[in-house]
Structure 1
Amino acid sequence: MEETPVRTGSQHFLPRLLHPKHEFGQRILDFERQIALMAIINRTPDSFYDGGRTFALQAAVDASLRAVSDGADWVDIGGAPFAPGPAIPAAEEANRVVPVIQAVREASDVVISADTFLPEVAQQAIAAGANVINDTTGLRNRDLAAVIAETRTHVIITHSLAEPRTVLGRPTYADVVTEVAEFLVRQVEHAVSLGIGEDRILIDPGHDLNKNTLHSLEITRRFSEIAGLGYPTLAAVSNKDFIGETLNLPKKARVEGSLAAAVMCALGGARVLRMHNVAAARSAINVVEAAMGWRQPAYLKHNMGDFNEPC
């Protein structure tokens, strides 16, 4: 792995975004002055983190609305894992995600993304109220791109090497950050050529997706090189294997490590953080945004008067 110079002075990176403000239905997110918190809702029986806790329809809806109450700006709803395993038929995946999207949209103006790479599922998800398609294949499917272009929906273009649900042994990179950045630039250009507006594109380097722990740590350290491409960049670090391997901890004990990685990415220019532990992540984001000068503290009392009263 190449060494990069340590930056001095300001210890955070402010990416120059081509389109800082993105409109998601009734919500406008200004990524020049805001870090959006994306909550994760997996309606799968074998989900990576919760092991199927939100597989039941009402459980998924309740978890989504609880995340909004806890401070999520965005809810990402998925019905098919990326991890190796049998393919999920489009009809089954749609039956999992569409009713959740519809129920959440009826109750809230929160940004909703459908975590899918199938055009049939994307079409139904958008009709139900999704604002964004979160595509972990990096928009390789022209039919999916056509759905996104026709509906003027936002898309998250994510880096990965292998097809979803397939095994890729020992992924190798000469320079993981450079190669991820080059892939994302190519796929953004491809998206634009297929009619998707630049103002509706976000990118994700894909921590742990066909990458080992050293690769994901390198991406975290050099996140500014991805964020500097000019598109709002998502960091999906929550409770992932690179956190567990770094700390030698199981999934349920990775909250603090996940928050550390998320904050590091935010200081490197990440403008969307995809997190399981919403309340904790909301607190972390609020502190970062306050330190950036983007939000005011909830109150000011410490050393603000003649006497220093305990807070």
Structure 2
Amino acid sequence: MRHYFQFGRFGFNLTTPGGKALVMGILNVTPDSFSDGGQFQSLEFALARAEQMLADGVDIIDIGGESSRPGAPQLSLQEELRRVMPVLYALRDCGKPLSVDTYKPEVMREAILAGADMINDINAFRAPGAISAVRDSDCALCIMHMQNAPETMQRQPDYVDVVREVSDFLRRRVEELTAAGIERERLCIDLGYGFGKTVEHNYALLKASGQIRAELGLPMLAGLSRKSMLGAVTGKPVEQRLAGSLAGALAAVAHGADLIRVHDVAETVDALSVWRAAH
């Protein structure tokens, strides 16, 4: 199984479960994200947040200009570019890989031209033109599962077998991207916790994530930070989910996750350091 993963200009040796997992810091430049919307909307505050993440030991920074919380409306192309591009240009020489969280092919193209190292697409590159937008670059690509769209995904999520259906969806997307000429070495997968899933669906996927990773043979990104699946277990509101987020991160790594997408970088870096020292 391949363990070397290329993020554009950057390469990482990803090990088997229990080894080095990379911490992806969330940089939302939005007014309406479920957890930190509005906090880093201005360029000045966004860059200050990025500098803090770098100091805290982040491995990758994921820049997002459009909220994908349940019920979120779609954002115009022009507004997403206005939010994302100045931050991307300002950070492209920071010494760490930069990811852009978008499903719009036009944003993908502009981000790649500006030096993005990864495109993180909640829509799994299904939008018309998405594959052609990324095919000829060297960007890493994260393929996520989502049932329906953010506006409707949490109304009534429904599966016969959530583990098999999510795994099959990701396999089909990987096959389509590789058939289009995209190297497998550029791909990673995301099970899409909270994107068209009930609490029970999310935990079934978490428990089976190592199996799915092994079947598909690709690095896996896990994003559980501050999500409602944690609140459902702890009873805590979003601003009090740090402990749950850290537990979720460690559980994801124990089940084989290679990248952990988080809001709380310093705490996650410390938790993973202790966890690795004990294994």
Match of 2:98 in 1: 112
Kindly indicate whether residue 161 of structure 2 is the aligned counterpart of residue 175 of structure 1: yes
**Which aligned pairs between 1:34-53 and structure 2 lie closer than 5 A?**
34-53=20-39
Identity %: 35
Structure 2 spans left out of the alignment, 5+ residues: none
Match of 2:226 in 1: 239
SS of corresponding position for 1:222: helix
Contact 1:43 1:96 in 2 (8 A): yes
In the superposition, relative to structure 1, how do residues 29 and 81 fare at CA in structure 2: closer, same or farther (>3 Å)?
A: same
CA distance in 2, matches of 1:219, 1:79: 27
Match of 1:304 in 2: none
Kindly indicate whether residue 41 of structure 2 is the aligned counterpart of residue 55 of structure 1: yes
The amino acid of 2:223's aligned partner reads A
Contact 1:227 1:269 in 2 (8 A): yes
**Which aligned pairs between 1:74-85 and structure 2 lie closer than 5 A?**
74-83=60-69, 84-85=71-72
The CA deviation at 1:168 is: 4.9
Kindly indicate whether residue 6 of structure 2 is the aligned counterpart of residue 23 of structure 1: yes
Kindly indicate whether residue 190 of structure 2 is the aligned counterpart of residue 204 of structure 1: yes
The amino acid of 1:223's aligned partner reads S
CA distance in 2, matches of 1:205, 1:49: 20
Kindly indicate whether residue 127 of structure 2 is the aligned counterpart of residue 141 of structure 1: yes
Match of 1:87 in 2: 74
Give CA-to-partner distance per residue, 1:73-128, whole Å, 9 cap, x none.
0000000112323321111101111111111113x121111000001111111122
Contact 1:226 1:233 in 2 (8 A): no
Match of 2:149 in 1: 163
Contact 1:81 1:165 in 2 (8 A): no
Give the RMSD, CA atoms, in angstroms: 1.4
TM (norm. structure 1) is 0.85
TM (norm. structure 2) is 0.94
SS of corresponding position for 1:23: strand
CA distance in 1, matches of 2:212, 2:51: 31
Match of 2:244 in 1: 257
Aligned mate of 2:114, from 118, 128, 137: 128
Contact 1:60 1:100 in 2 (8 A): yes
The CA deviation at 1:34 is: 2.0
In the superposition, relative to structure 1, how do residues 273 and 92 fare at CA in structure 2: closer, same or farther (>3 Å)?
A: same
Structure 1 spans left out of the alignment, 5+ residues: 1-16, 293-311
Give CA-to-partner distance per residue, 1:219-262, whole Å, 9 cap, x none.
12222122212100011000001101111111111111111111
